[in-house]
Amino acid sequence: MVTDSYAKTGPSNRGIVGVRVFFSKLKPAAEVPVQERRRSIRHTTVMQVAKIRFGDGREELCLLRDISPEGLKAEIYVPAEKGAHIEIELRTGHMLGGQIAWVESKLIGVSFDEPMPMAAMMAHCSFDDRMGNLRPPRLNVNMNGLIKLGIEERVVRIGNISQAGIQIDIAQQLSAGSPCQIGLPGLILRPATVRWWRDGQAGLLLAEAFEYAEFSEWRSIVAA
């Protein structure tokens, strides 16, 4: 586990150290530099991809930088507003609700609606992919794509996407294990394999998953 510790700012709140990590209430946020909006508590650096859901229902990915019982810091690639309420879905499926406390460039600080017990938080964030079948977060989208089956190409509707797979609407029955290529708006065709088909929908597994940097750059354009 990698941990950081930050210097305490302001009074000790009757001797209790570490009731806040990111979000000082001693002064208005505008008067306090970002690096000073933290109290002295140890928090965990996670560098984990998660899903962020905004109040209007829009979903995007984010990269969790560090997390504590009362808040987290995340890297995002779309605009966000201070004070907005959001939800963070971890790859374990656990949901964290909170309010954006500060925004600086591509980073946001989120204050949880309720404190998260540290033991439970560590269980959520320190998992190992080898311990279970955890799939990358999926985003519900509504866009067209292009699938290539052999020499045939056709436009399909994309229902959701992740860094590793894509769900499409396609009436033609596809066989599990069949190779194909799938194109997303603004991107070249990518090799994939049909994982399943039923009731006019199919799941495709990309031969090479998106790196977060590539995925976030693409989404920052198409989601604008």
pLDDT at 168 over 70: yes
Least confident stretch, 43-47, 76-80, 118-122, 213-217: 118-122
Q: Which long-range contacts (CB under 8 A, 24 or more apart) does 220-224 make?
A: 220/77, 220/78, 221/186, 222/143, 222/185, 222/186, 223/58, 223/60, 223/78, 224/78
**Closest-CA residue to 44 (of 104, 116, 105):** 116
Which domains can be identified in the chain, with CATH numbers? Answer: 3-131 (2.40.10.220), 139-222 (2.40.10.220)
**Closest-CA residue to 210 (of 92, 25, 63, 59):** 63
Question: Who's near 48: CB < 8 A, 6+ residues apart?
Answer: 63, 64, 90, 91, 125
Find the helix or strand (DSSP H, E) in which 124 lies: helix 118-125
Tokens of 101: 């406390």
What integer is the mean pLDDT of 62-82?
A: 93
pTM as predicted = 0.73
Q: Burial letters for 20-31: b for 16+ Cβ neighbours within 10 Å, e otherwise?
A: bbbbbeeeebee
pLDDT at 3 over 60: no
